[in-house]
A and B are shown apart, each in its own frame.
Chain A
């Protein structure tokens, strides 16, 4: 069973701090990795995607991929209360199929 594992949280960080969200995946054949943000009652929206080992930065967000360790992470710098949401990690395996983790709930305290 191919899986994507995330700590369900909640992860609570003070405003302005760095939030670190982690994810592991079981299928070594996975090639594409995504982080989605989902506010309560809303649909998932893409935050970052990463295909290659290393770091990828976009504004306050940095995605990190380590294929040897089968590990993906998302760092959110200068966390804001508006970042409070559930963050879904996803891995595309076998081309068309994307497996989602159960999500990590993040709370940013003002």
Chain B
């Protein structure tokens, strides 16, 4: 009964390759996120989808493309991987409650991406 799941957990690949990370949540939430956590542990938002619509798109290279086929899934595709893409990528979900506030986010286990 995992709440937010991600696959794969580990991803080792070479520069220039294309890879995808998948995320699924069974909490019935309407908002999902992708975060990148670098080696200094700083957690930075990349994208957010609300009801399958892209609502946050931070300054992320266009090599990164999120896709949300439905409210429960949010995938991240990365083209032409670079050394600097090495990080832990977390998926999260929450239920938006309007009025500029939100509920807490639930995080997936993370995908450790290593680009060699």
Query: Which A positions have Cβ atoms within 8 angstroms of B?
Result: 29, 31-32, 34, 38, 42-46, 49, 51, 86, 88, 92-100, 102-103
B25 located at the interface, meaning its Cβ lies under 8 Å from any Cβ of chain A in the complex:
no
Q: Which of B's residues lie within 8 Å of A, judged by CB?
A: 31, 33, 35, 40-45, 48, 50, 55-56, 90, 96, 98-110
Q: With contacts defined as CB atoms under 8 Å apart, how many contacts are there between chain A and chain B in the complex?
A: 65
A29-B100, A100-B35 known; 13 new pairs, CB 8 Å cut-off, are A46-B104, A46-B105, A46-B106, A49-B103, A51-B101, A95-B102, A96-B48, A96-B50, A97-B45, A97-B48, A97-B56, A98-B105, A99-B45
- Cβ–Cβ < 8 Å partners of B109 in chain A: 42-43
- Given A43-B109, A45-B107, is A95 in contact with B100 using a C-beta cutoff of 8 Å? yes
